[in-house]
Structure 1
Amino acid sequence: MSRCEITGKGPVVKNLVSHSNIKTKSTALPNVQKKRIFSRTLNQMVRLQIATSAIRDMEHMGGFDNFILNQDDKALSKRALAVKLRIKKKIGSNKK
């Protein structure tokens, strides 16, 4: 099952309810895509599996770097957390 590496969004179990009120379990998978995203801070492309809703949120917040820096570390995958730490390190070295 696929999971968004930035938001942690994964499959959800839901009930399909018929007209006669019979409940049938089903799973709803998030729309996760393998994308290459440009990081302006790192000046390179980063490859991650991202939900399309996260891509829209990312554009609304002003880009990948700003979005990933505001994300909680618990929601990030190991690869996304490594990218976040590289961005923080690069920003910290630029300020000095």
Structure 2
Amino acid sequence: MFGTLPTLSRSTGIPFKRASQGLFEGLTKQYGNNVPHSMKKTRRTWTPNVQTKRLFSETLGHHVKLSVTTRALRTIDKYGGLDGYLLGVNCFRLGEEGMRLRMLVKEKRGIAPVVQV
């Protein structure tokens, strides 16, 4: 039996809302201070370097338009493409969109996804 996306999304680590809409590789928004010469601290944020890319999936047979961090792009190259990345990476680093794509790739290849509750 194939698991549904809502049950699988509970097992993903989603650090902030925008990360669920792309491949963010577990990166989050970070907080800190700007400290000038006068030592008056002001709060600021650092956001992940996100690019919109069209990545080709060999299993699905077409391009997939995704928001991807540059760190995730390097990992995709390391795994040999989008399909290898989706099947090889831990689900906590994928997020909801990554899990949805992983299920599509597994379904197309005929691999039953492992559902852990």
TM-score (normalizing by structure 1): 0.75
User: Quick one: which of 78, 81, 91 aligns to 1:63?
Assistant: 81
Q: Is the 8 A contact 1:2 1:11 kept in 2?
A: no
CA drift of 1:56 comes to 1.7
User: Quick one: which of 82, 92, 95 aligns to 1:74?
Assistant: 92
If asked which structure has higher relative contact order (CA below 8 Å, sep 6+), I would say 2
**4+ residue stretches of structure 1 with deviation over 6 A?**
none
By percentage of residues, which structure has more strand?
1
> Percent identity of the aligned residues?
33
Give secondary structure in 2 for the equivalent of 1:74: helix
The reply to whether residue 31 of structure 1 matches residue 49 of structure 2 is yes
The match for 2:102 is: 84
Deviations 1:30-57 (A, max 9, x none): 1112211100111111121110121122
Task: Tell me the distance in 2 between the aligned counterparts of 1:55 and 1:17.
Answer: 32
CA drift of 1:23 comes to 3.8
Q: Is the 8 A contact 2:79 2:88 kept in 1?
A: no
Amino acid at match of 1:33: Q
**Structure 1 gap ranges (5+):** none
Q: Is the 8 A contact 2:35 2:41 kept in 1?
A: yes
The match for 2:7 is: none
Aligned residues: 93
TM-score (normalizing by structure 2): 0.64
Give secondary structure in 2 for the equivalent of 1:87: helix
The match for 2:22 is: 5
Task: Please give the root-mean-square deviation of Cα atoms over the aligned residues, in Å.
Answer: 2.3
**Structure 2 gap ranges (5+):** 1-16, 112-117
The match for 1:53 is: 71
